[in-house]
Amino acid sequence: MNYNKAIEYIHSLERFGSQPGLERIQALTDRLGNPQNHLKFIHIAGTNGKGSTAAFIASILTAAGYKTGLYTSPFVVRFNERIRLDGKEIPDEDLAEYVSKVKSAIDEMIREGMAHPTEFEVITALTFLYYYEKNCDVVVLEVGLGGRYDATNIISNSVVSVITKIAMDHMAILGDTLKMIAGEKAGIIKDNGYVVTYPQEKAALETIESVCRKRNAFLFKADPSQMCEVEFGRGILAFKHSQFGRLETSIVGVHQVYNASVALKVIEVIKNRGFIIEDEAVRTGFKKAKWLGRFELLQNNPDFIIDGGHNPDGIRSFVATFKKIYPGKKAIIIFGVMKDKDYETMLRELSEITSSFIAVTPDTIRALPAENLAKVMAEYCHHVECSDTIKEAVDKSFLLASEDDVIVSVGSLYYIGQVRTLVCSRSAG
């Protein structure tokens, strides 16, 4: 199997949908020798901030000399982004090889009359096998959805379970209260385990504390008050930490200060569990950490920013960051979203910083059509455009903008990557 065939095969599995439960992935990993049982994990659940928190932790571990896997979803530009080793994407030939290995095991399952694993389960299983055969010291593992019944929760060896900010999202699957959602996320907490949590709202924190008591787990709360002298700039976030001194990163956002505090608490906990991480590795790791599509500045004059905020909480963080970096300015905003999201609330939040809206349809069956989105946009902004293609939306935004304007493309990661490619090729050309 070559790379293109491997990617085609993975995407063909979308037809199996998203199904909770660990039976299918357990059956699959059994046939692969249960590679996850031979790895150490930092397991990360949460509604928002999982990816950037994971990126901070993985970059610090790599800087400290550990062979570090980083498994995240979804991807922004290329599938390979989801499976990284010491900051580098899985090579095409390796991906093809491991898809072939896992497909053989699945074929065996099907011959035995077993249910076919989902797309996410297949990717997770091949990731475990890849990291095991590459002798990873530690894997930073991001939950796909929820926690309790997520395919990643097949693992037993968590060095620490991490819960980032819990907010209202995926309510049809996880529940329609913060307490219910927190219960699903807290499903990753292991008996006698170590847990680090974001400074949660009361209902979420009480749920996490309750699960920790039941499982005799040790809970540590991130403390953003350890950060001071916070500086926001175009493409830079810096702050002073009480232990590590001045830290600087290109992962920008008011919420990133909180995500950074979670990452730093994780480092503190795993150091106490035997990991050797010098302060200099923390500083280097922060500086080198990359996370595409999160308040990412792609070009200047006009400034063009992309951000994967796709729920009301993520949009609020984006708007707060925009106001910090561009006080008093308005933006031309390209927006596309899934039809199951609370897009009306998101548009209301975005209207605070909008001069024009451009509606797009992300390239997925779950997308809200641009014409439907444009009708709602018109309630919050006088200037609304609708685009048939993402390229047309990008071209329109540049026609509307002068050199000192700001263009923003925000919403579903399903289209943010396409915008990124179009803008970067335009700048290069």
| Residue 169, pLDDT score | 67
Our CA angle for 359, 362, 365, nearest 5°, is 130
Residue 83 reports pLDDT greater than 90: yes
Max CA separation in the chain (angstroms): 64
Q: In the structure encoding, which two tokens stand for residue 294, read together?
A: 């999160």
pLDDT digits (tens, 9 = 90+) for 60-79: 999 999 999 999 998 999 99
pLDDT tens digits for range 16-38: 988 888 999 999 999 999 999 99
84: part of which helix (H) or strand (E)? strand 83-85
* Separation between Cα atoms, residue 164 and residue 195, nearest integer Å: 11
Report pLDDT for 365.
80
- Summary mean pLDDT of the chain: 94
Is the peptide bond between 302 and the residue preceding it cis, with omega within 30 degrees of 0?
yes
Query: pLDDT tens across 273-289, in order?
Result: 999 999 999 999 999 99
- The secondary element (H helix, E strand) that includes residue 174 is helix 171-174
Q: 141, 42 in Cβ contact below 8 A?
A: yes
Q: pLDDT for 287-320, tens place per residue?
A: 999 999 989 999 999 999 999 888 898 899 999 9
Q: Which two tokens stand for residue 306?
A: 């992309």
Residues 213-224: pLDDT tens digits?
Answer: 999 999 999 999
Q: What is the mean pLDDT of residues 149-166?
A: 96
DSSP symbols for 89-117: EPPHHHHHHHHHHHHHHHHHHHHTTPPPP
Question: Does 426 have pLDDT greater than 90?
Answer: no
Give the angle 285-282-89 at the CA atoms, nearest 5°: 25
Report the DSSP beta bridge partners of residue 238: 231, 248
Q: Are 275 and 268 in contact (CB under 8 A)?
A: no
Exposure on the CB side of residue 34, measured as CA atoms within 13 A: 9
- C-alpha–C-alpha distance, residues 425 and 158, integer Å: 41
Residue ranges of domains in the chain: 3-288, 296-428
CATH topology of domain 3-288: UDP-N-acetylmuramoyl-L-alanine:D-glutamate ligase (3.40.1190)
Strand blocks (E) in 99-243: 138-142, 158-163, 194-197, 218-221, 227-233, 236-241
> pLDDT digits over 239-274, tens only?
999 989 999 999 999 999 999 999 999 999 999 999
Which residue's structure tokens are 């990873």?
Answer: 136
d(CA 43, CA 1): 31
CA distance linking residue 383 with residue 48, whole number of Å:
30
Please determine whether the domains at 3-288 and 296-428 fall in the same fold group of CATH.
no
Cα 155 versus chain centre, distance: 20
Predicted pLDDT at 340 = 86
pLDDT at res. 128: 98
Q: Is 162's pLDDT higher than 60?
A: yes
Q: Is residue 195 very low, low, confident or very high in pLDDT (cuts 50, 70, 90)? A: very high
Burial of 114 (0-12, 13-18, 19+ CB in 10 A): middle
Measured CA distances, 16 to 19, 102, 118, 120 (Å): 8, 16, 5, 10
In percent, the amount of the chain with pLDDT more than 90 equals 86
Domain 296-428 carries which CATH code? 3.90.190.20
pLDDT at position 429 over 70: no
Per DSSP, 150 falls in state S
Residues 336-348 have a mean pLDDT of 92
Read off the pLDDT band of 412 (50, 70, 90).
confident
Q: Which residues pair with 237 in a beta bridge?
A: 232, 249
- pLDDT computed for residue 175 by the predictor: 65
Q: What is the pLDDT at residue 173?
A: 65
Q: What is the model's pLDDT at position 287?
A: 96
Q: Are the C-beta atoms of residues 194 and 161 closer than 8 Å to each other? A: yes
What pLDDT is stored for residue 413 in this prediction? 80
